[in-house]
């Protein structure tokens, strides 16, 4: 694997571990596609650094478990702002 690719993958993984970011948030931060980041941290990282892969996996599992809560909050805010604009 190329050195620039390896460094990008490690940088993405460290960002996720340090900030607890989602795959989408990480993709936006690094100007990459969501699929690219997901493949980097779920497949390629396992080959490069197993320990870091396990830490990233824990963060992504937490994000997956709380996804429905974030979605509900976003919907609630959307309708609250619409209600305020109509009033």
The pLDDT assigned to 26 comes to 96
pLDDT band at 86 (very low <50, low <70, confident <90, very high): confident
Cβ atoms of 49 and 13 closer than 8 Å = yes
pLDDT at residue 87 greater than cutoff 80: no
Identify which has the larger pLDDT, 86 or 60.
Answer: 60
- Write out the two tokens for 30: 């690094």
Predicted TM-score (pTM) of the model is 0.80
Residues 10-62 have pLDDT tens digits of 999 999 999 999 999 999 999 999 999 999 999 999 999 999 999 999 999 99
The pLDDT assigned to 4 comes to 92
Please state the separation of Cα 36 from the chain's center in Å. Answer: 11
């Amino acid at each position: 694997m190329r050195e620039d690719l390896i460094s990008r993958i490690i940088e993405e993984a460290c960002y996720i571990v340090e900030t607890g970011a989602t795959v989408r948030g990480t993709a936006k931060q690094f100007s990459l596609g969501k699929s690219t980041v997901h493949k980097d941290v779920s497949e390629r990282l396992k080959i490069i650094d197993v320990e870091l892969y396990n830490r990233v996996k824990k963060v992504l599992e937490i994000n997956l478990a709380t996804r429905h809560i974030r979605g509900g909050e976003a919907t609630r805010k959307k309708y609250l702002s619409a209600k305020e604009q109509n009033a």
